[in-house]
Structure 1
Amino acid sequence: MPQTSPAPTSYSFLGPAGTFTEAALAQVPEAAGKTWRAVNNVGEALTDVVSGRSVAAMIAIENSVDGGVTATQDALANVPNLRIIGEYLVPVSFDLVARHGTTLADVHTVNAHPVAYAQCRAWLDAAVPGHGHIPASSNVAAAAALLENDQADAAIAPPGILKHHDLAVLATNIGDNPNAVTRFVLVASTSELPAPTGADKTSLLVELPEDHSGALLEMLEQFATRGVNLSLIQSRPIGDELGRYRFVIDADGHILDERMADALLGLRRFSPNVTFLGSYPRADKRLIEFTDRYDDGIFIEARDWLRALIGQDPA
């Protein structure tokens, strides 16, 4: 009999070791003891999943300070047949690190991931006025670059960076918001749905059918009239022409909830392109609240009533 290749057991994450993405992956029980592949960007992580190199990839999708991670949103819109199967929250804090012998007064240029830089900008403007910024692919890469070249004097890095690189910490907790949290999602190439838990989230990409007054309201009504709350809605350019946008949506509930399923049917009738990114348990485990008139039984009874009117037996 022909031999078959073993199923992939590796997980991809934005590297190198020590990033917040790695901390998110550490929360996945199934990933324990498996191979973790450090990649350079979201596109590479998703390519690993599509090609079968990895069983899943951990990617950042939203930050409590800066909102949605646009690189991730755009990548999910352009890579088909992917599903979000879980979400994970990581509290975010930052340190300023430098080569040994450097003082804060010596700092004129800072290496930093753009998102981290934005979250530390007020502190940097006060402590290092007039500084320059060199973008880095990750916070750990920003720190590592200090040991590779002298283009920057310091870097924004995650706590614990000294476990990976021989540097000095000039300041700790330099983030402007002490409550900052980054939301990560685990993405796989699968059609299987995690079972509903009552504390779920559904992610979608929705295009408007045409640009006219009230079009966005018509889309939002598909959720509002079914009692489905939205926890995220963000527009992103489709890219085929100026003024065309898709909407990145996180809705409270699971596709197997009757109210969510009915909302998706309405969206499908309304929009020329709806991409279902997945239904999965919320990281905060907060139960979804809704009024009794949107209970599953109400939708089921309404369908049975209609079937009886047209002479069909209720399902």
Structure 2
Amino acid sequence: MTDAAHTPPEETYSYLGPAGTFTEAALKQVPDAAGKHWRSVNNVGEALADVTSGRSVAAMIAIENSVEGGVSATQDALATVPGLRIIGEYLVPVNFVLVARPGTALGDVRIVNAHPVAYAQSRGWLERELPDHGHIPATSNVQAAASLFEGSQADAAVAPPGITEHLDLEVLARDIGDNPNAVTRFVLVSRSRILAEPTGADKTSLIVELPDDEPGSLLAMLEQFSTRGVNLSLLESRPIGDALGRYRFVVDLDGHIADERVADALLGLRRTSPNVIFLGSYPRADRREVSYHSRYDDEIFIEARDWLRGLLSGEPD
């Protein structure tokens, strides 16, 4: 990747830095980003501001973790920042090492610096191996390690496995994550309105508000998907913030907006919800083909529309 000071926006990608973060590992999976300028930012808001202002062509942000669930800061930002589209998703296995300044032994560690999410995912190991330790929160996994050289009171830090490629630190323990199968899902966000062609292994992301806080509202929303054979891979609620009891729903569904069953479900949502935000249709990171019952094939929806059109135009049976 380049690091030119005056790289044009179409050659710039933003990511949560500094170098060595899991977000950078996700960006390394993007073929179009290879050889381009990668702009390190401090948080999701700054990354998305780069995109909306035109400073960057796209930004890589974390949206979901297999252990912690959805990343609320990302979900809320996508709901409130207009003009954004998800153009791809990427999976990064997540594990951690405990690092310290050279000469530090595990028995010397009393205080640990760690990003809150990393701390939550390694807390079992830390409490078992360092039962009397204290915790200082960090803004990122790499910053937790870098702070050891910046006058931090911490003796050690929870960091990504590749941290020693960037900082002169000793690894006190490896694989300290409590869940060896932990994975974080990242999405590449841009302002592009060009939809990726359907592949048969696609995902569509939406944010949907309920019309009323009354019995059956959530069921009515879910029925738009279930009656069309559309599977949901993510459904999380987030407070809208204007009043108690008012929620929006973050939805990932299997399929592409070009699929008839998905398009029909979106039409149903649009009729029943005061606000539907389409965040994009894009290939699944795992490339797993979407399966559904044959009664929801595109041809079934097309035939039904043709039948109705014939009735309205008076065509003979």
Q: TM above 0.5, one fold? A: yes
1:186 aligns with 2:210: no
Matching of residues 210-221 of structure 1 within 5 Å: 210-221=212-223
Alpha-carbon separation, structure 2, partners of 1:193 and 1:269: 23
Alpha-carbon separation, structure 2, partners of 1:58 and 1:191: 17
- The equivalent of 2:46 in structure 1 is 44
Residues 94 and 183, structure 2, Cα contact 8 Å, conserved in 1: yes
1:132 Cα deviation after fit:
1.7
**One-letter amino acid matched to 2:161:** P
Residues 9 and 56, structure 2, Cα contact 8 Å, conserved in 1: no
Give the 3-state SS of the residue equivalent to 2:171 in structure 1. strand
1:109 Cα deviation after fit:
1.4
**One-letter amino acid matched to 2:45:** G
1:8 Cα deviation after fit:
2.1
Q: What are the superposed Cα offsets for residues 252-277 of structure 1, whole Å, 9 maximum, x if unpaired?
A: 00001000000000001111011000
1:150 Cα deviation after fit:
3.0
Q: What are the superposed Cα offsets for residues 179-236 of structure 1, whole Å, 9 maximum, x if unpaired?
A: 1111100000111111100000000000111111121111100000000000000000
- The equivalent of 1:90 in structure 2 is 92
Q: What are the superposed Cα offsets for residues 90-109 of structure 1, whole Å, 9 maximum, x if unpaired?
A: 11110000112222222121
Give the 3-state SS of the residue equivalent to 2:55 in structure 1. coil
Single out whichever of 103-112 and 80-89 deviates more from structure 2. Answer: 103-112
Alpha-carbon separation, structure 1, partners of 2:125 and 2:24: 26
Alignment counterpart, residue 299 of structure 2, candidates 292, 297, 300? 297
Matching of residues 199-210 of structure 1 within 5 Å: 199-210=201-212
Q: Tell me the TM-score normalized by structure 2.
A: 0.95
Q: What are the superposed Cα offsets for residues 39-89 of structure 1, whole Å, 9 maximum, x if unpaired?
A: 000000000000111000000001111111111101111110000000001
**One-letter amino acid matched to 2:184:** T
Residues 93 and 182, structure 2, Cα contact 8 Å, conserved in 1: yes
Q: Tell me the TM-score normalized by structure 1.
A: 0.96
1:269 aligns with 2:271: yes
Give the 3-state SS of the residue equivalent to 2:10 in structure 1. coil
Identity, % of aligned positions: 74
Residues 206 and 277, structure 2, Cα contact 8 Å, conserved in 1: yes
1:7 Cα deviation after fit:
5.3
Q: Using a 3 Å threshold, how does the CA distance of structure 1 residues 80 and 223 change in structure 2: closer, same or farther?
A: same
1:312 Cα deviation after fit:
6.8
**One-letter amino acid matched to 1:145:** S
Task: Please give the root-mean-square deviation of Cα atoms over the aligned residues, in Å.
Answer: 1.2
Give the 3-state SS of the residue equivalent to 2:59 in structure 1. strand
Alpha-carbon separation, structure 2, partners of 1:114 and 1:250: 25
Alpha-carbon separation, structure 2, partners of 1:6 and 1:138: 27
Tell me how many residue pairs correspond in the alignment. Answer: 309
Alpha-carbon separation, structure 2, partners of 1:312 and 1:233: 43
Alpha-carbon separation, structure 2, partners of 1:74 and 1:208: 16
Matching of residues 15-94 of structure 1 within 5 Å: 15-94=17-96
Give the 3-state SS of the residue equivalent to 2:250 in structure 1. strand
1:6 Cα deviation after fit:
5.7
Give the 3-state SS of the residue equivalent to 1:8 in structure 2. helix
- The equivalent of 1:10 in structure 2 is 12
**One-letter amino acid matched to 2:27:** L
1:174 Cα deviation after fit:
0.1
Residues 9 and 55, structure 2, Cα contact 8 Å, conserved in 1: no
Unmatched runs of 5 consecutive residues or more in structure 2: 1-6
Residues 114 and 144, structure 2, Cα contact 8 Å, conserved in 1: yes
